[in-house]
Amino acid sequence: MMKIKVALCDDHPLIIEGLQRFISSNEKMEITAKVSSVSELMETLENVCPDVLIMDISLPDGNGIEACREVKRKYRDIKIIGLSSFEDRETILQMINSGASGYLVKSASAKELETAVEAVYEGGVYFGSDAQKALNQFYVNTCEAPPVTRREKEVLLLLSEGYSSVEIGEKIFISPQTVDTHRKNLMKKFGVNKTLHLIAKAKEMGIIG
């Protein structure tokens, strides 16, 4: 079985140690790199290409948000999960807009971490529970919610749970391409251009819980 290759970027030894202990004990994952700064991360990525990068927002030699943008510019296939003690919506959205596929606060459980890594690896998105609470406050919209079909609501709900297009297709017996078509149509209806914003807006309007 192919393991998910995970790289860690955090300057707190206890955080790195905890993440390493958990990932090393998980049969689905393996650690390919551990770094503690932006410069070390960029140097390491020249030789190591992880599937998923778990990255702190505050690093000693740079901003994790800017580093996220740089990593995605150079290595588009690497999926990034922001990890931070910050849980305000502005920080979360800045990280997402820089290319991250997920966000966890450092109090997240091991189960949340596992779910997040698997979700973004499969092409999905994932917010930890605390991040979801912050994002639910982002959209304040007094307009009526756009009309959503039963199938679109099914897709929305599964997207919010972190499933990828392939997994959603398997669950509701449609092709991944059809799932992506529903996703694009939903983003047009809600006036957003990112799946994460779509989910947040649908939650704010009460379309999904």
Task: Please state at what angle helix 38-45 crosses helix 64-74, rounded to 10 degrees.
Answer: 10
Query: Which tens digit of pLDDT belongs to each residue from 6-46?
Result: 999 999 999 999 999 999 899 999 999 999 999 999 999 99
Residue that the structure tokens 């990932």 belong to: 23
> What pTM does this model have?
0.70
The confidence score (pLDDT) of residue 141 equals 42
Domain 4-129 has CATH 3.60.40.10: no
Q: Please name the residue that has the structure tokens 């990280």.
A: 95
Q: What is the pLDDT of residue 140?
A: 43
Predicted local confidence at residue 190, as pLDDT: 83
Range(s) of the chain covered by CATH 1.10.10.10? 150-204
pLDDT at 139: 46
> 160-192: b or e for each residue (b if 16 or more CB lie within 10 Å)?
bbbbbbebbbeeeebeeebbeebbeebbebbeb
Q: What pLDDT, on the 0 to 100 scale, is given for residue 81?
A: 96
pLDDT in tens, 144-155: 677 788 888 899
The predicted pLDDT at position 83 comes to 92
Spell out the CATH class of 150-204: mainly alpha
What pLDDT was estimated at residue 135? Answer: 66
Q: What is the pLDDT of residue 131?
A: 80
Per-residue model confidence (pLDDT) at position 52 = 97
Where the chain has pLDDT below 70, the residues are 135-144
- In the chain, which segments carry CATH 3.40.50.2300? 4-129
